[in-house]
């Protein structure tokens, strides 16, 4: 088992870092680049940039931000939102991203997962899943939880893994922005059904929530609200998670 990774997730709309509830009702937090830089200096293990409105406009507009961030931030960076083709991926990698997160375009055309994995390696290809509870399971949504794809989350996760996805960014739309904790049943169900790492996302309100998600099988923890509103710190989460007996990187 590797160290569990602590990841800052930065949702971006236009030039602003934003935060919503259930991926909606977005509030402006500030400059995404400045926050990324600060999280790096505070010892974050990885960063995720998500372009929230990209699917709406059909393209990812984070290239400049990614390039700017990569100048002074030396931890892995995943970039998602509006990634539709191998060329889109190439462009983001060229500008300093290490991985891309794909949701809408993969749901429409699953072969895209294989195309990206074949061109750049599975480690580059993160499948982003927006999951909403349904009786007896979860459904896959796209476009910030607005569009239902007709897919079942567990089946989709397995299919994506077999197509070459290297990681799953698993966002619970129900929990997102609520600070009430991750959807632990969802984390359990997905991490038990695939052999690739799962990043739990949506709902982290305290360090205990992170501990719970890791005990449910998460390999990595995405944090947003908790860090953006400074309700805790990366160092505090690291200390608490470590005190619970979970292996994390020692940041020095």
Q: Report the alpha-carbon distance of residue 9 to residue 88 in Å, rounded.
A: 21
- Residues contacting other proteins: total by CB under 8 A: 34
Positions annotated as catalytic residues are 11, 130
Taking the complex as a whole, the smallest distance from the CB of residue 75 to other proteins amounts, in Å, to: 6
Binding of other proteins at residue 39 (CB under 8 A)? Answer: no
Residue 163 tokens, joined: 């197509």
Binding of other proteins at residue 3 (CB under 8 A)? Answer: yes
Give the CA-trace dihedral at 36, 20, 90, 119, to 10 degrees: 110
What sign does the CA torsion over 115, 117, 121, 127 have?
positive
- Binders of other proteins in range 121-160 (CB under 8 A): 121-123
Taking the complex as a whole, the smallest distance from the CB of residue 133 to other proteins amounts, in Å, to: 27
- Among 11, 143, 167, 183, interactor with other proteins by CB under 8 A: 167
Binding of other proteins at residue 71 (CB under 8 A)? Answer: yes
Q: Report the alpha-carbon distance of residue 95 to residue 101 in Å, rounded.
A: 15
Binding of other proteins at residue 96 (CB under 8 A)? Answer: yes
The answer to whether 7 and 47 have CB atoms below 8 angstroms apart is yes
Binding of other proteins at residue 232 (CB under 8 A)? Answer: no
Binding of other proteins at residue 1 (CB under 8 A)? Answer: yes
Q: Which of 129, 133, 142, 145 is nearest to 26 (CA)?
A: 145
Taking the complex as a whole, the smallest distance from the CB of residue 98 to other proteins amounts, in Å, to: 7
Taking the complex as a whole, the smallest distance from the CB of residue 5 to other proteins amounts, in Å, to: 5
The answer to whether 213 and 189 have CB atoms below 8 angstroms apart is no
Taking the complex as a whole, the smallest distance from the CB of residue 100 to other proteins amounts, in Å, to: 12
187 to 226: interface string for other proteins, x by CB under 8 A: --------xxx---------------------xx------
Binding of other proteins at residue 9 (CB under 8 A)? Answer: no
Beta-bridge mates of residue 128: 169
3-state helix, strand, coil in the chain (%, to 5): 35, 30, 35
- Binders of other proteins in range 41-60 (CB under 8 A): 43, 45
CB atoms within 10 A of CB 67: 14
Strand (E) or helix (H) holding 226:
helix 225-228
Taking the complex as a whole, the smallest distance from the CB of residue 58 to other proteins amounts, in Å, to: 25
Q: Using DSSP bridges, classify how beta strands 137-142 and 147-152 pair: parallel, antiparallel or unpaired.
A: antiparallel
- Binders of other proteins in range 103-122 (CB under 8 A): 120-122
The answer to whether 76 and 98 have CB atoms below 8 angstroms apart is yes
Between 96 and 110, name the residue whose CB sits nearer to other proteins: 96
For other proteins, the binding residues (CB under 8 A) are: 1-5, 40, 43, 45, 70-72, 74-76, 93-96, 98, 120-123, 166-167, 195-197, 219-220, 249-252
């Amino acid at each position: 088992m590797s160290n569990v990774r602590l990841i800052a997730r930065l949702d971006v709309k236009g030039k602003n870092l934003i935060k919503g509830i259930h991926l909606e009702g977005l509030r402006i937090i500030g400059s995404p680049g400045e926050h990324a830089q600060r999280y790096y200096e505070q010892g974050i293990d990885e960063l995720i940039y998500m372009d929230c409105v990209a699917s709406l406009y059909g393209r990812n507009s984070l290239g400049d931000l990614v390039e700017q961030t990569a100048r002074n931030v030396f931890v892995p960076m995943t970039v998602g939102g509006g990634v539709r083709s191998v060329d889109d991926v190439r462009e983001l990698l060229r500008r300093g991203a290490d991985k891309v997160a794909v949701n809408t375009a993969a749901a429409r055309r699953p072969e895209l997962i294989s195309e990206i994995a074949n061109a750049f390696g599975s480690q580059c290809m993160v499948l982003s899943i927006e999951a909403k509870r349904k009786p007896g399971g979860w459904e896959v949504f796209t476009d910030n939880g607005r569009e239902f794809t007709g897919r079942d989350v567990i089946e989709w996760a397995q299919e994506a893994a077999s197509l070459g996805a290297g990681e799953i960014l698993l966002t619970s739309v129900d929990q997102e922005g609520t600070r009430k904790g991750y959807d632990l049943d969802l984390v359990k169900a997905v991490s038990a059904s695939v052999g690739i790492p799962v990043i739990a996302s949506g709902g982290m309100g305290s360090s205990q929530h992170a501990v719970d998600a890791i005990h449910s099988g998460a390999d990595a923890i995405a944090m947003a609200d908790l860090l953006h509103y400074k309700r805790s710190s990366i160092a505090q989460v690291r200390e608490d998670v470590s005190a619970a007996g979970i292996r994390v990187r020692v940041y020095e």
